[in-house]
């Protein structure tokens, strides 16, 4: 790391003790930014990095709710409004028992640069709760969402902060959250949340966008080496929203996706994952992958273990942070890997990223490769603002153009800063410069 940034890093780490995922995200960005400060001394003079690492606002609140037996539970809710230099805070809500301030801050910090890379007018934010939706009834989910929004509503708005989904928050939860916002405010403010249902202000392609976008980004990386998805053997982690649509898109481009996972294990299906069966089990039945293996001839389920033990030429980590470590990366490389695109946020550890770079693997970091989700959320906001709704084809075309644009900007920025082919450098510098310029232009706020 550039010695001028080490002191700033040490201060950020000391001011945010115990938030290891936030530390990891900050260090990863700082490691790319030395050359930027050679060209832009004004960023150091204006203390841009110090300001960028301190969220503009952090909200932590109590979320009381009752289960179906009438028992009272108390969870913790978070919304970190990180940076609004480019537009209203924008970023999802995560409901998972692992959520604490450090996770929300790492996600919010990454979101600033990701949103800048999309070229859309959106700032960075993130939120969520340590609530565990697994095994909860629809009525319990609804009561939790209503209680969560009863506090959150006062902090958000179409021009202020626009949440969306993430792990544990999909169309059902966005529906309950939107309903409660409308009830409290007496406003049909479509642009306050994205990921809405199609008949009440949502955008076509939003459910597919993150997974599709990740595959489009990977396809652009492959093209730089004269390759494509056609004939690739793909391994995907996760089996939620991002994973399902990444699998569908990769297979539509001629790849065979041979494995996917959930938190209990993984399935191997050499014939290629049956996406409709997977979608039905996961989204309709809200079931487990063991049921996929039970119903699909030829597929096997492995309990525990790591999906990265399965060999593939392309890996798409689409589950959660730090799910792919240095050992897993080395194994994938020795098994013939050529490309990785991150559908999840920060799924590869720093050691894993080093292994990929040293082996010359094409590596697309999440803040670039999975930006299609938030970009399509911004398209949903555009449709809401103009009270319009676009066709699937038009919206998918916009998504494709945005992803190709992000790929090309990352590649060009990496070239410009002397790191050709390094999409981590390209994404970090490309996103940072845009936000830093806007922050300086808006004065010391």
The contact set with ligand NDP (CB under 6 A) reads 165-168, 210, 238-243, 262-264, 318-320, 343-345, 370, 373
Q: Are strands 362-364 and 339-341 parallel, antiparallel or unpaired?
A: parallel
DSSP characters over 209-249: HHHHHHHHHHHHHHHTTT--STT-EEEEE--SHHHHHHHHH
Pick the closer one to ligand NDP by CB: 264 or 385.
264
Query: By three-state DSSP, how is residue 95 classified?
Result: strand
Measured from the CB of residue 332, what is the shortest distance to ligand NDP in angstroms? 17
Q: Are strands 72-83 and 57-66 parallel, antiparallel or unpaired?
A: antiparallel
Measured from the CB of residue 44, what is the shortest distance to ligand NDP in angstroms? 31
Pick the closer one to ligand NDP by CB: 49 or 173.
173
Measured from the CB of residue 310, what is the shortest distance to ligand NDP in angstroms? 15
Our measurement of the distance from residue 138's CA atom to the centroid of its chain's CA atoms, rounded to an integer in Å, reads 25
Measured from the CB of residue 67, what is the shortest distance to ligand NDP in angstroms? 20
Pick the closer one to ligand NDP by CB: 16 or 115.
115
Pick the closer one to ligand NDP by CB: 177 or 243.
243
Pick the closer one to ligand NDP by CB: 128 or 430.
128
- Continuous segment of H or E residues that includes residue 50: helix 48-52
Pick the closer one to ligand NDP by CB: 9 or 347.
347
Measured from the CB of residue 19, what is the shortest distance to ligand NDP in angstroms? 17
Query: By three-state DSSP, how is residue 317 classified?
Result: strand
Q: Residues 332-337: contacts with CB within 8 Å, 24+ apart? A: 332/235, 332/308, 333/359, 333/361, 335/311, 336/311, 336/312, 337/312, 337/313, 337/361
Nearest residue to 222 (alpha-carbon basis) of 72, 428, 423, 21: 423
- 86-115 as b/e: b if 16+ CB within 10 A: bbbbbbbbbbbeebbbbbbbbbbbbbbbbb
Q: Are the beta carbons of 82 and 39 closer than 8 angstroms? A: no
Q: Which residues are catalytic?
A: 126
Spatial distance between the Cα atoms of 244 and 233, rounded to a whole number of angstroms: 16
- 352-371 as b/e: b if 16+ CB within 10 A: bbebbbeeebbbbbbbbbbb
Instruction: Count how many Cα atoms sit within 13 Å of the Cα of residue 255 in the half-sphere of its side chain.
Output: 29
Instruction: Provide Rg for the chain, Cα atoms.
Output: 21
Q: Which residue is nearest to ligand NDP (CB)?
A: 240
- Give 362's strand partners: 339
Q: Are the beta carbons of 195 and 164 closer than 8 angstroms? A: yes
- Give 166's strand partners: 169
Spatial distance between the Cα atoms of 5 and 27, rounded to a whole number of angstroms: 10
Pick the closer one to ligand NDP by CB: 16 or 241.
241
Residue 171 — φ and ψ, nearest 5°? -60, -40
Pick the closer one to ligand NDP by CB: 48 or 118.
118
Report residue 337 as tokens. Answer: 């890997």
């Amino acid at each position: 790391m550039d010695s001028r940034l080490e002191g700033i890093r040490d201060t950020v780490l000391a001011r945010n003790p115990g938030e290891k995922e936030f530390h990891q995200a900050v260090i990863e960005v700082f490691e790319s930014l030395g050359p930027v400060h050679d060209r832009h001394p004004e960023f150091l003079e204006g203390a841009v990095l110090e300001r960028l690492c301190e969220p503009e606002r952090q909200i932590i609140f109590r979320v009381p709710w009752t289960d179906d037996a009438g028992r009272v539970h108390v969870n913790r809710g978070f919304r970190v409004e990180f940076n609004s230099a480019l537009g209203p805070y924008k970023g999802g809500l995560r409901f998972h028992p692992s959520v604490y301030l450090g996770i929300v801050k790492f996600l919010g910090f990454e979101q600033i640069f990701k949103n800048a890379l999309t070229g859309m007018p959106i700032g960075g934010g993130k939120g969520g709760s340590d609530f565990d939706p697994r095994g909860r009834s629809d009525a319990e989910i609804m009561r939790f969402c209503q209680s969560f929004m009863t506090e959150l509503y006062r902090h958000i708005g179409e021009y202020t902060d626009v949440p969306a989904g993430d792990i544990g928050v999909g169309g059902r939860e966005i529906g309950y959250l939107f309903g409660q916002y409308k009830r409290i405010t007496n406003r049909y403010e479509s642009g306050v949340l994205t990921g809405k249902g199609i008949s009440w202000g949502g955008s076509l392609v939003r459910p597919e966008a993150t997974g599709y976008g990740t595959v489009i980004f990977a396809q652009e990386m492959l093209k730089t080496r004269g390759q494509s998805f056609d004939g690739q053997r793909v391994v995907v982690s996760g089996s939620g929203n991002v994973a399902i649509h990444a699998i569908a898109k990769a297979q539509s481009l001629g790849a065979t996706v041979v494995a996917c996972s959930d938190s209990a294990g993984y399935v191997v299906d050499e014939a290629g994952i049956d996406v409709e069966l997977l979608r039905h089990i996961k989204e309709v039945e809200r079931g487990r992958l063991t049921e996929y293996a039970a119903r699909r001839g030829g597929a096997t389920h492995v309990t525990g273990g790591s999906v990265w033990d399965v060999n593939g030429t392309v890996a798409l980590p689409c589950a959660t942070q730090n799910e792919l470590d240095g050992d897993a990366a080395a194994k994938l490389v020795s098994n013939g890997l050529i490309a990785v695109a991150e559908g999840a946020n920060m799924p590869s550890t720093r050691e894993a990223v080093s292994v990929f770079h040293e082996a010359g693997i094409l590596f697309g970091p999440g803040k670039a490769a999975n930006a299609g989700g938030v970009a399509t959320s911004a398209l949903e906001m555009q449709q809401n603002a103009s009270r319009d709704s676009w066709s699937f084809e038009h919206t998918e075309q916009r998504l494709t153009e945005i992803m190709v644009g992000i790929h090309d900007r990352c590649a060009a920025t990496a070239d410009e800063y002397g790191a050709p082919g390094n999409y981590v450098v390209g994404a970090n510098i490309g996103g940072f410069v845009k936000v830093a310029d806007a922050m300086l232009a808006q004065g010391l706020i």
